[in-house]
Chains A and B, each alone.
Chain A
Amino acid sequence: MSILSYDFMQRALAAAVLVGLAAPTVGVFLVQRRLALMGDGIGHVALTGVALGFLLGVAPLITAVLAATAGAVTIELIRARGRTGGDVALALLFYGGIAGGVLLIGLSPGGTSATLLSYLFGSLTSVSAGDLIVIAVLAGMALLLLAGFGRELFTVCHDEEYARASGLRVRVLTLLLAAAAAVTVTVAMRVVGLLLVSALMVVPVATAQQLTRSFLGTLAASLVLGVAVSVAGVVLAFQADVAPGASIVVLALGVFALAVLARFVVRHRRPRDTFGAEDVPQAQPAVAISSTAPPAATTPPAAVTARGDR
């Protein structure tokens, strides 16, 4: 008997596919901007939104979107404004989000911290038809936004100062990205849970870039990976009767480990190429020194030894 014959599984799989598409799309820009942890921060703030929904008797998905967007915009403004203590300010926001959520749920009628657990770790099988529609609309909005402003966002996330000098409205674009991230966090909340949302944004991207050279290639590969691990994770969770959020993320991390291994093998087959000499012919395995690590770590060794020559 196919697992598709269960209505709740059909909805779960549909939600998993939507999240598998939306999360890496936002994630690739966040990683490019070196803001991989932004999804985490937004997730924490969204928890306060969920609890607020229970307190006010409003659908938690709605209040979560609002809180997450407010949190994401605040993070972006703090980042743009504050040169000193920006990361501390973000940390305060994260803790405030969790504490606010637990506090508000305690105040709401009949609410306990246990109510929050299904949001913290996801509860995919309880997604209703109405939830699915909201998830589809929100995911569609995030994807459309990123498709429309993809080129601008690439430029901004690649080199913010250059983007400003090119006359791009950098502040608007970064707020747009923050809003898309907030919406995606809320969408993914039911599938993987707020504490694991960021994993689905970041891990497929980190996996893809082990083996890619281009931005578009990284995006495409992380979409395929995102959908694949989401669907496989849901199926696995159903078979093994474990939490889908956890199985999705563990699967994603497993694929990441394999990709690192594959890159390692490719690199060590041709050790000579890691020097990135001035005019290496084109078809060299560029993955050998790809840019997963900060630029300092990808410096060709030849250039490093050149230091202090003088």
Chain B
Amino acid sequence: MPVSEPVSEAVIELVGGDVVLDGRRVLRGVDLRVDAGRTVALLGPNGSGKSTLVRVVVGLHKLSGGRLALFGVPAGRFRDWQRVGYVPQRVTAASGVPATVREVVQSGRLSRMRRFRPASHADKAAVARALDAVDLTHRARDSVADLSGGQQQRVLIGRALAGEPDLLVLDEPLAGVDLARQEAFADILRTLAESGTTVLLVAHELGPLEPLIDRAVTLRAGEVVAVGAPPPVTGEHARPDHDHVHPHEDPHREEPILAPSPWVGSP
């Protein structure tokens, strides 16, 4: 397991973060610090506020209390969004009109492209690398609607990578992805970590990602209840013969139906 080095630059620094949605307090006084080059996991049961927290980080929710800084800049003044790559939790990467895998991935490169100009060499190369990283180069010209759920999720990861972000924020990247794909995703994450990318990800269970996580932050009912090394995998999921049979890759499903992880159970 990676050993934490002395504190370096804070990429994300949230202090006393409060969020109120529809009159309900979803986050209460949350502190979160993610240092450059680290991989941090947000754990917790459904409704604990994990997704809300990452949505605050990428600017989709406003704080009603507390303060947030990204790359040392207060969030209100932060404009450098091409440094942040976001992978939302989606059941599909398709929309009302067909789009190819390459088109969707390239849309993640938008903030680095020039208006009225065709894609530059650097843009094309970045898109090609992103496609390669998520192992979809051979399907680049296919319509995303023709891909399986797991492949569509990789399209969304590729879209975030195309912008060559310094910070990658992923909301439940493993939801609905089978074990083989989870391991493939772990490989992507390992490469990113080695290249110095900072990663914040929401997970229900870490599975094959566990060795890559520098720090795990566990939320419950909108509050941070634990910070530290990722909890060891125990119980059913730790057994080597456990064969992860879940209703995977079902785009109809909105909530992950995975069994709750042993370490984030109810009090």
Q: Give complex CA distance A166, B99 in Å.
A: 19
Tell whether A214 is near chain B: CB-to-CB under 8 Å: yes
- For window 14-29 of A, CB contacts with B under 8 Å fall at 28
Are A213 and B100 interface neighbours, CB within 8 A? yes
Q: Does B132 contact A (CB under 8 A)?
A: no
Judge whether A282 is part of the interface by a CB distance below 8 angstroms.
yes
From A87-95, A254-262, A284-292, give the one contacting chain B. Answer: A284-292
Alpha-carbon distance between A164 and B59 when the two chains are bound, in angstroms: 8
Closest-CB distance, B258 to chain A (whole angstroms): 9
In the complex, chain B residues whose CB is within 8 Å of the CB of A308 = 247
The segment out of B24-32, B138-146, B202-210 that lies at the interface is B138-146
State the interface size on chain A (CB cutoff 8 A): 55
Q: Please, how many angstroms separate the alpha-carbon atoms of A243 and B138 in the complex? A: 49
Interface residues of B in 84-108 (CB under 8 A from A): 84, 86, 88, 90-92, 94-100, 103-104, 107-108
B90 and chain A: residue at smallest CB distance: A159
Known: A215-B103, A299-B252. 10 other contacts (CB 8 A): A154-B103, A166-B111, A166-B163, A214-B141, A218-B97, A284-B142, A290-B145, A295-B145, A307-B253, A308-B247
Docked complex Cα distance between A107 and B111 (Å): 52
Give the 3 A-B residue pairs with the shortest CB-CB distance, closest first.
A167-B81, A291-B145, A213-B143
In the complex where A278-B148, A282-B141 touch, is A216 in contact with B103 (Cβ < 8 A)? Answer: yes
Q: Does any Cβ of B come within 8 Å of A306's Cβ? A: yes
Q: Mark B135-158, 1 if CB is under 8 A from A, else 0.
A: 000110111111111110000000
The distance in angstroms between the C-alpha atoms of A298 and B91, with both chains bound, is 12
B21 within 8 Å of A (CB atoms): no
Q: Which of B213-267 contact A (CB under 8 A)?
A: 245-253, 257
**Is A184 an interface residue, CB under 8 A from the partner?**
no
**By the criterion CB–CB under 8 Å, are A158 and B151 in contact?**
no
CB of A270 closer than 8 Å to a CB of B? no
B148-189 vs A: 1/0 string, CB under 8 Å?
Answer: 111100000001000100000000000000000000000000
Chain B residues with Cβ below 8 Å from A31 are 96-97
User: A175 near B: Cβ within 8 Å?
Assistant: no
Do A155 and B107 contact each other (CB < 8 Å), given the known contacts A164-B59, A282-B138, A306-B249? yes
CA distance A167 to B77 in the complex (A): 12
Q: Is the CB of A291 within 8 A of B143?
A: yes
Set B88, B92, B99, B150: member contacting A161, Cβ < 8 A: B88
Binds B, one of A55-63, A70-78, A144-152, A191-199: A144-152
The verdict on B79 contacting chain A, using a C-beta distance below 8 Å, is: yes
Residues in A with CB closer than 8 Å to B121 are none
How far is the CB of A25 from the nearest CB of chain B, in Å? 12
Q: Bound state CA distance, A306 and B72, in angstroms?
A: 46
B252 touches A296 (CB 8 A): yes
A contacts, CB < 8 Å to B: 28, 31-34, 36, 147-149, 151-152, 154-155, 157-159, 161-162, 164-168, 205, 209, 212-218, 276-278, 281-282, 284, 286, 288-291, 295-296, 298-300, 303-304, 306-310
Q: How many angstroms between the C-alpha atoms of A151 and B144 in the bound complex? A: 18
Q: In the complex, are the beta carbons of A290 and B143 less than 8 A apart?
A: yes
B20 within 8 A of A: no
Q: Which chain B residue has the least Cβ–Cβ distance from A34?
A: B96
How far, in angstroms, from A286 to B99 measured CA to CA in the complex?
Answer: 11
Per the bound structure, the CA–CA distance linking A159 and B252 in Å amounts to: 18
Within the complex, the shortest CB–CB distance from B242 to chain A, in Å, comes to: 14
Complex formed: what's the CA distance from A278 to B178 in Å?
Answer: 11
Residue-wise, chain B 103-146 has the 8 Å CB interface mask toward A (1 for contact) of 11001101101011000000000000000000000110111111
- In the bound complex, residues from chain B placing their C-beta under 8 Å from that of A154 are 99, 103, 107
A147 to B115, CA, bound (A): 9
Task: Say yes or no for B58: interface residue by CB 8 A criterion.
Answer: yes
Check: B3 CB closer than 8 A to any chain A CB.
no
Chain B positions within 8 Å of A152 at CB level: 110
- Tell whether B60 is near chain A: CB-to-CB under 8 Å: yes
Partner of A162, one of B88, B91, B246: B88
Contact B60 A286 (CB under 8 A): no
Instruction: List 25 A-B residue pairs with CB atoms under 8 Å apart, sorted by A's residue number.
Output: A154-B99, A154-B103, A157-B95, A167-B81, A168-B110, A212-B143, A214-B141, A214-B143, A216-B103, A276-B146, A276-B147, A282-B138, A286-B143, A290-B143, A291-B94, A291-B95, A291-B96, A291-B97, A295-B145, A303-B149, A303-B249, A306-B247, A306-B250, A307-B252, A310-B257
The interface residues of chain A lying within 8 Å CB-to-CB of B249 are 303, 306
Knowing A214-B141, A307-B250 touch, does A209 contact B91 (C-beta < 8 A)?
no
Do A304 and B59 touch (CB < 8 A)?
A: no
| Given contacts A162-B159, A307-B252, A215 and B110 within 8 Å (CB-CB) | no
Residue of A nearest to B58 (CB): A165
Q: Residues of B contacting A165 with CB < 8 Å?
A: 58-60, 81, 84, 86, 88
Q: A147-B116, A282-B138 are in contact. Are A214 and B99 (CB under 8 A)?
A: yes
Interface string of B46-90 (1 = CB under 8 A from A): 000000000000111000000000000000000101101010101
- Residues of chain B lying within 8 A (CB to CB) of residue A164: 59-60
* In contact, A299 and B251 (Cβ under 8 angstroms): yes
Contact A282 B94 (CB under 8 A): no
